[in-house]
Structure 1
Amino acid sequence: MKITHVESHRIHVPPTEPPFHWRDGLSGSPATGDGAVLRIGTDAGVEGVALFARPGAGVMLDDLVDRVFRDELVGQDPLRREWIWHRMWELDRIQELPLPTLGLVDIALWDLAGRLYDQPVWQVLGGYRDKIPAYASTSTFDSTSEFLDVADQCLKLGYRGVKLHAWGDARRDAALCVALREHVGPDVPLMYDGSAGFDLPDAVYLGSALSEADYLWYEEPMREFSVTAYRQLARLVRVPLLVAETSDGSHMNSGDFIAAGAATFGVRTGTTLRGGITGAMRIAHLADAYRLRAEVHGSDIPNHHLCMAIPNTTYYESLVTSTSVRRERHVDAEGLVHAPTSPGIALPAEFGYGATLSPYVERAA
């Protein structure tokens, strides 16, 4: 079996309503629903697709397909995923590929394999579980009272924990985190994500508050350029650190955080920023060797499969962006997410799944 065509298709991804934002200084939902689908086909008639949805995705993927991916992939065996994964990293040395594009080819090839074997990708990966609890991962709201109300709604809807994305002010955020613990009591798992908003002194201040409030983990308080800063933070706070979410290098970079003693809870893994499914699995296995968690980042469909495939992840991350909370469609009334059942990754039809693209998809010029 050989790859015969590699295509980029423009799509419209409906923006989140109502719009949301992260901490001060960071936007949230994009104003336009720009997106693209990478489609890889073969001479055997089986194909695979991967969704790329972020501002500029269409232009970016058109360029990469025309300039890099097509020439590299046509004629290759699509089941040689390891070789192709390594080849993408070789190309990155010169191309400096945008971080979210490094795993796109890999995701499409895993989708192709699942369709070929008529199994969901999580089963092709070996499979570990068929359900996992979900936590509610908030966007940033305007006031402490709104956060507390959202937490109440989430817990009533069955979510098994709550993670805060707050304002990026260490003292105000610390007060919020303590208030939430006092509000929900000692038994609800709570997490905090700093969205890289702090320097080391403020990260220590906030981490000390999280320690006292018994938070399950403390995530990305600083930019992940300095492993040394994270090592210092791990020495100075008791709250466990979850690290290496956005740093380049997949398992190679995650390994440095672990070796430095900075991953006191574990490392982030995921298909979007950690080199696709192959990169995410490498991180999970690396963390497991050190008896650490590999928490899956993001709630897109490939990460849904990933949650079912690895043993050392705790939760499915379900984004909550409105003060009027609705459960994500994958989450049931008990706060559980169940394993996909369709072959491959099962990208929805409106995102280009199947032999015929949706009418909403515009073929790239």
Structure 2
Amino acid sequence: MRIVEVSSWSVPFPAADPVFRWRDGLPGSAPAGDRGILRISTDTGVSGVALAGRPGSAPVLADLVERVLRPELLGADPLQREYLWHRIWELDRIDEIPLPLLGIVDIALWDLAGRHYGVPAWELMGGFRERIPAYASTVTFGSVDEYLDVADQCLALGYSAIKLHAWGDATRDIELIRALRDHVGAGVSLMYDGSAGFDLPDAIRVGRALSDADYLWYEEPMREFSVNAYAQLSRTVDVPLLVAETSDGAHMNSADFIAAGAATFGVRASAGLRGGLTGSLRTAHLADAFRIRAEVHGGDLPNRHLCMAISNTTYYESLVTSNPVRREACVDADGFVSAPRIPGIGLPAGPAYPDELRQHIADEDANR
């Protein structure tokens, strides 16, 4: 089997409905716009796809395909994912490929391999489980009272844990951290994501409040450029730290956080931010060697497969963007996500794909 075509597509995606916001200082939900899709085709007729889901990804991906990916991939064996993953990292040395695109070839190749063998990608990766609990990962709401109302709705809808994205103001966030614990009681797992809003002194203040309120993990309070700052934070607060989400370098950079003693809960695995599924598997296995977690970041299709494939992740991250709360379609009434059943990975249903890409839609109802 050989790769005979490498192409990119620009597909219009709608805006979030309703629109939502993140912490102070960050833009909110992305507007409507085109997203890029990579397709890798072979001489046997099997092909694989991957979605570049960030705003503005379509022209960046098209340029990358023309200059870098097509010349590199044509004629290659698509089942040699390990070799091709190393080749992309070699090319990154010169091109500095944007972090969310570093793993797009790898994701498309896992999709292709799953279709070739007739199994879902999570099974091809080895497989660990067939269902996993989801946590409700909030966007930023307007007040403490609204967060408490959202939390009640999430628990009623079956979610067993809640992660806060708050305002990025240490004083206000500490008030919310305490109020939510008092409101839901000791039996609900709570987590907090600082969205890189703090410096070290404020990260310590917030971390101490999280320790006192018995939060399960503390995620990305600072930009992940200084491993030393995270090491100091880990020595100062008791709440376990979940680190290495947006830092470049996949498992190599995650190793630095672990070696520094900063990953006291674990590290992030993410198909979109840790070098595709192969980079995430490396990250998860590295973390497992140190007996820490590799929590999967984000709720798209590749990350659903990743959740089913690795042993040391705890939850599926399900974004809650509205009040009234709407439970994500893949989360059942008991708060669990089940493993995908169709071969490969595919594309999310919903957008207006061109006819050439419709065969790749991962609509399980339509494929039964």
Bin the TM-score by the shorter chain: over 0.9
Determine the structure 1 residue equivalent to 2:208. Answer: 208
CA contact (8 A) 1:34 1:53 kept: no
What CA deviation, in whole Å up to 9, does each residue of 1:172-198 have, x standing for no partner? 101100000000000100000000000
Query: How far did 1:350 drift?
Result: 5.2
The whole-number CA distance in structure 1 between the counterparts of 2:53 and 2:161 is 27
Query: How far did 1:346 drift?
Result: 3.0
The whole-number CA distance in structure 2 between the counterparts of 1:190 and 1:219 is 12
Determine the structure 2 residue equivalent to 1:217. Answer: 217
Query: How far did 1:55 drift?
Result: 1.4
Matching of residue 268 in structure 1 with residue 257 in structure 2: no
CA contact (8 A) 2:14 2:351 kept: no
Determine the structure 2 residue equivalent to 1:81. Answer: 81
The whole-number CA distance in structure 2 between the counterparts of 1:348 and 1:151 is 27
Query: How far did 1:353 drift?
Result: 8.5
Q: How does 1:82-97 map to 2 (within 5 A)?
A: 82-97=82-97
Query: Secondary structure of 1:211's match?
Result: helix
The whole-number CA distance in structure 2 between the counterparts of 1:306 and 1:184 is 30
What CA deviation, in whole Å up to 9, does each residue of 1:26-77 have, x standing for no partner? 1121122321110000001100000112211111111001111100100100
Query: How far did 1:121 drift?
Result: 0.3
Query: Secondary structure of 1:30's match?
Result: coil
Query: Secondary structure of 1:242's match?
Result: strand
Matching of residue 229 in structure 1 with residue 229 in structure 2: yes
The whole-number CA distance in structure 2 between the counterparts of 1:351 and 1:313 is 30
CA-based RMSD: 1.5
The whole-number CA distance in structure 1 between the counterparts of 2:349 and 2:209 is 46
CA contact (8 A) 2:281 2:310 kept: yes
Query: Secondary structure of 2:341's match?
Result: coil
CA contact (8 A) 1:51 1:351 kept: no
The whole-number CA distance in structure 2 between the counterparts of 1:166 and 1:245 is 18
Determine the structure 1 residue equivalent to 2:322. Answer: 322
Change (3 A) 1:350 1:4: farther
Aligned length: 360
Query: Secondary structure of 1:77's match?
Result: coil
Determine the structure 2 residue equivalent to 1:345. Answer: 345
Q: How does 1:161-176 map to 2 (within 5 A)?
A: 161-176=161-176
CA contact (8 A) 1:141 1:166 kept: yes
Determine the structure 2 residue equivalent to 1:192. Answer: 192
Matching of residue 132 in structure 1 with residue 115 in structure 2: no
Normalised by the length of structure 1, the TM-score is 0.96
What CA deviation, in whole Å up to 9, does each residue of 1:237-272 have, x standing for no partner? 000000000000000000000000000000001100
What CA deviation, in whole Å up to 9, does each residue of 1:199-222 have, x standing for no partner? 000000000000000000000000
AA partner of residue 287 (structure 1): A
Determine the structure 2 residue equivalent to 1:286. Answer: 286
Matching of residue 238 in structure 1 with residue 249 in structure 2: no
Matching of residue 70 in structure 1 with residue 70 in structure 2: yes
Q: How does 1:4-15 map to 2 (within 5 A)?
A: 4-15=4-15
Determine the structure 2 residue equivalent to 1:295. Answer: 295
Query: Secondary structure of 1:357's match?
Result: helix
Determine the structure 1 residue equivalent to 2:304. Answer: 304
AA partner of residue 217 (structure 2): W
The whole-number CA distance in structure 2 between the counterparts of 1:350 and 1:131 is 24
AA partner of residue 236 (structure 1): T
The whole-number CA distance in structure 1 between the counterparts of 2:100 and 2:274 is 8
The whole-number CA distance in structure 1 between the counterparts of 2:353 and 2:251 is 30
The whole-number CA distance in structure 2 between the counterparts of 1:231 and 1:54 is 30
Moved more, 344-353 or 234-243: 344-353
Query: Secondary structure of 2:158's match?
Result: coil
The whole-number CA distance in structure 2 between the counterparts of 1:63 and 1:352 is 22
Query: Secondary structure of 1:15's match?
Result: coil
CA contact (8 A) 1:85 1:106 kept: yes
**Structure 1 segments unaligned to the other structure (5+ residues):** none
The whole-number CA distance in structure 2 between the counterparts of 1:125 and 1:157 is 31
The whole-number CA distance in structure 2 between the counterparts of 1:273 and 1:353 is 25
CA contact (8 A) 2:49 2:346 kept: no
CA contact (8 A) 1:20 1:139 kept: yes
**Structure 2 segments unaligned to the other structure (5+ residues):** 362-368
Determine the structure 2 residue equivalent to 1:179. Answer: 179
The whole-number CA distance in structure 2 between the counterparts of 1:334 and 1:194 is 28
CA contact (8 A) 1:161 1:188 kept: yes
AA partner of residue 198 (structure 1): F
Normalised by the length of structure 2, the TM-score is 0.96
Determine the structure 1 residue equivalent to 2:2. Answer: 2
Matching of residue 142 in structure 1 with residue 142 in structure 2: yes
CA contact (8 A) 2:22 2:167 kept: yes
CA contact (8 A) 2:6 2:70 kept: yes
Change (3 A) 1:146 1:158: same
CA contact (8 A) 1:295 1:313 kept: yes
AA partner of residue 140 (structure 2): T
The whole-number CA distance in structure 2 between the counterparts of 1:189 and 1:32 is 34
Query: Secondary structure of 1:356's match?
Result: helix
AA partner of residue 33 (structure 1): G
What CA deviation, in whole Å up to 9, does each residue of 1:283-321 have, x standing for no partner? 000000000000000000000000000000000000001
Moved more, 93-102 or 51-60: 51-60
The whole-number CA distance in structure 1 between the counterparts of 2:293 and 2:153 is 28
Q: How does 1:144-159 map to 2 (within 5 A)?
A: 144-159=144-159
